[in-house]
Copies of this chain bind each other. A is one copy, B any other.
Amino acid sequence: MQDLQLLIHRIIERININLREPLFDVGPYIRAAVEIDQMAKFYAFYGITTDHPLHFKFNHSSLAGSFFLGKCLVDHSVLYKSDIRGDELKSRGDIYQYDKFNIPVHDDEAIHIKDSFLLKTLVHNFSHDPENLEEFIIQNTAALNYANIHGAPVEGCFLGPFCTVDLTTLHDCVIGSFAYLQTGELSHELIAPGRIWIRSENGYQFNYQFEETILKKYIRLNPGNPPAGLFMDFVESRKDSFQPVFDAAYYKPPTHAPLGSSLSPYAAVKGKTRIGENVLVAQRAYLEDAWLGNGANAQENCYIIDSRLEGDNVTAHGGKIVHALMGKKVFVGFNSFLHGTKENPLTVGEGCIIMPHTIIDLESPLDIPEGYLVWGHIRNHDDLAKHSVSLDDFSKIDGEFKLGAMQFNGNGRTFVADFKHRIEHILEANGAYFEGNKNRGHAQKDSDIAFNTIQPYPEGRLKGIYPTIEILP
């Protein structure tokens, strides 16, 4: 185990060098994050299909429980139960458009993780850094539980638990727990926990700050301790359901996935769950008494419980939906926590956009009308009034707009159009619009997938470290 300890030490030192300004020591967080013994316990796995580009290279790394798809290179890193999905990368010959630039992509892009520590982290999409098109780089970086690195190359960063960095390039930043960033480029910044910040090149900004006292109930992080709070309790209490799924060599989910759909054998499926056509259920999704309409999807670390999704619903990575009725084409953003109960159910009307990192934790029944933009922390109807605006009204904003702890600046119509455009793109990419042989997306491409499992050296100095592995077509 000696080598793995040295590797972790080395990663800490490298990140800390980057984080000398803002001065931040990642050591106490990384060391408390997971017991080193656990890192030799779980197999990692990767997918083989004919529909994805293929290149894996794992070099001097520990990969316990992690999953890889597409093109992923890992050097000198510790990846614990993380998901690295290189299935939306740019291809050689693509033209990357940015502002007035049209840059040809000269090689297939790959996700490249170097000298980093990722814990239950999701990495997806492609690098939105126009300066480096062929490499989606994650370097000298630590990310804690359920962080999402989505199209965001990061270097020298600490990403707190349940935070999301989305289509953003980060250098030497510390991102607080449950913060959401979609800001273009940032360096040497310290982002407070629970800050929701969108800053678009199209000229608008969206800002929201969770109250510290509220946030602590859901997620808190103290040096020397693993993350704690309701979010952690929620996922930990359902952990055992994944045991039989990972223990079988060929797990057959108890629910049928019809043609055009794919249900990962590494998803947990319980109760009376129904999967419609063109549905994507990713590995590490959790479905319990869930009704998924045609074209709906459940990404990594999604929990859909006692709920019905009418169709064409996007539930982004880490979204949780409990005791809810979701209308058609409702979008639920990253790591949102939508928690109704039998007594206090949630209904969300057609076409609503639930912003990333929204907490709806009900103490009375709630009915959100169709076509609303929703954010922040909502327990009841009064809270909803302070944390939502109809998309029609939002489109009328031009300039500054404030509501509670939310501030918007810019053109509301552009904001709504950009968001809707992105939702359409996600639905297309996921294969929600598949018909005949057209509009193939992840749901179709993942339906014929084979999984390879890999394990580390089981004993001795190298315990927990994986041999060097390279996979090519």
Contacts and interface: CB of A to CB of B under 8 A. Distances in A.
Interface of A is mostly: loop
Interface string A435-473: 000000000000011111111111111100001111111
A456 B250 CA distance: 14
B469 A470 contact: yes
A456 B471 CA distance: 12
A319 B460 CA distance: 34
A133 interface: no
A471 to B, nearest CB: 5
A249 interface: yes
Interface string A134-157: 000000000000000000000000
Contact of A455 (B451, B456, B460, B462): B451
A214 interface: no
Nearest to A43: B249
Contacts of A472: 467-468
A50 B450 contact: no
A461 B50 contact: yes
B458 A455 contact: no
A450 B462 CA distance: 13
A48 interface: yes
A246 interface: yes
Contacts of A471: 467-470
Nearest to A449: B458
Given A49-B459, A247-B250, A452-B455, 13 more contacts: A43-B452, A48-B456, A48-B457, A54-B467, A249-B249, A249-B453, A448-B458, A448-B460, A449-B458, A450-B456, A453-B453, A467-B473, A469-B469
